[in-house]
Structure 1
Amino acid sequence: MSIKDCGHHKDKKKILLKRILAGVLIFIVIILLVILIIWAILKPSKPSFILQDATQYNFNLTSPAQLTSIFQVTIQARNSNDKIGIYYDKLNTYATYHDQQITLPTSIPPTYQDSNGMNIWSPFLQGQSVPIAPYIGSQINQEMEMGSVRLVIKMDGRVRWRVGSFISGPYRIHVNCQAFIPFGNPNSGIYVGRNAIKYQLIQGCGVSV
């Protein structure tokens, strides 16, 4: 008789455990569904970026296969969401030429951008005697003779979205800013120092999240 009672208690425990697990799963599904509905109603949009200007300090082919460049760029980031904030956990900024990175990445400090907020960053980008393919050096010379060099200023990092007290997981963000900079034409810029020339660009950037 005692053996049957023990088995009966075990069955009750199993049933109770299954009910608890089912209740937890239903609760999780409800929470996720609520978050999904709120997300669909808010319709979050990715931030927009504008490359405002670039200040040239050095841009020189030190040999046919080495490039030295030092300049500062000003980038504006705007959050157009009415009820969603953005955490920029990590952003690395660097310059490329024909898909080849020509400067070291410069990290932008982590920051929070409130709804309808705007941030402006002015990182320095530097590359000292960066090895490049010989044909790249030839193309740079040709573009400088034509009046401008086409660089791409890139930002790669991670962002999180905030809705009220809810904060999402991290998402990768990639920003590409086309920059036609007249390095070979100093008269199109403004001298802001002995060897520094600022070029106004006001160029929209492509953003993917």
Structure 2
Amino acid sequence: MSAKDCGSHGQKRRRFFRRLCAAILVLAFIVLVVVLLVWAILQPNKPRFILQDATVYAFNLSTPNLLTSNFQVTLSARNPNDKIGIYYDRLDVYASYHSQQITLRTAIPPTYQGHKEINVWSPFIYGNEVPVAPYNSVALGQDQASGAVQLTIRIDGRVRWKVGTFISGRYHLYVRCPAYITFGTRTTGVIVGNNAIKYQLVTSCSVNV
């Protein structure tokens, strides 16, 4: 075989691979455009969370700067989309005070939420002698003495969107729910057991994805 024939075969192979790569790129571009068009047409909305109530079993601040607390909270999540499902792959619930986490994280089992569906969870969140920053400990003691504490019930997790047979990648989910707890003679809760008080809150939560 002559050098001319080898050069001709080499050029053909290069042209073939260039055409193959171009075809793959065009196909990938078309798929991406279709997905983006479907996404834009469906206009996915974030899930909507509501903190329905909170039952306080313990909330004791001791020296030096240690907090023991035990809550049960009821949270509802609604999928507002009529053509998009939501996979909740991970949801961790905990409480914070002035941006400091004051309880352990409680995991909610992974679940799928269909179109327009509502899920309700009632996890316990607690912490035993959790160290509190000195400045937060002072503020918390003052709030308790005044009879009201503003907490935040937080949910951190990962979600995926389902459109038909297409399932998106994972997205971070951040939910923040204000919880206004009153103590002593100012309490607005209902006694439901020994040293347990239930507060009907029904507050909307901020949701970021």
The TM tier, using the shorter chain, reads over 0.9
**C-alpha distance after superposition, 1:102-148 (max 9, x if no partner):** 00011111110001011111111111001112332222222223332
Cα pair distance change 1:17/1:185, threshold 3 Å = farther
What runs of 5+ residues in structure 2 fail to find an aligned partner? none
Query: Is 1:53–1:200's contact at 8 Å kept on the other side of the alignment?
Result: yes
**C-alpha distance after superposition, 1:28-60 (max 9, x if no partner):** 000000000000000000001000000011000
The amino acid of 2:193's aligned partner reads G
Q: Distance in 2 between matches of 1:33 and 1:61?
A: 56
Query: Is 1:53–1:74's contact at 8 Å kept on the other side of the alignment?
Result: yes
- 1:193 is matched with which residue? 193
Query: Is 1:59–1:183's contact at 8 Å kept on the other side of the alignment?
Result: no
Q: Distance in 2 between matches of 1:94 and 1:45?
A: 24
The amino acid of 1:99's aligned partner reads S
**C-alpha distance after superposition, 1:50-94 (max 9, x if no partner):** 000000110001224111000111111110001000001011111
Secondary structure, aligned partner of 2:29: helix
Q: Distance in 2 between matches of 1:72 and 1:148?
A: 18
Q: CA deviation at 1:168?
A: 0.2
Cα pair distance change 1:185/1:127, threshold 3 Å = farther
Q: Distance in 1 between matches of 2:38 and 2:114?
A: 18
- 1:44 is matched with which residue? 44
Secondary structure, aligned partner of 1:115: coil
Identity %: 56
Q: Distance in 2 between matches of 1:163 and 1:186?
A: 49
Secondary structure, aligned partner of 2:55: strand
- 1:207 is matched with which residue? 207
Secondary structure, aligned partner of 1:45: coil
- 1:167 is matched with which residue? 167
Mapping 1:68-147, distance limit 5 Å: 68-147=68-147
- 1:7 is matched with which residue? 7
Q: Distance in 2 between matches of 1:165 and 1:177?
A: 33
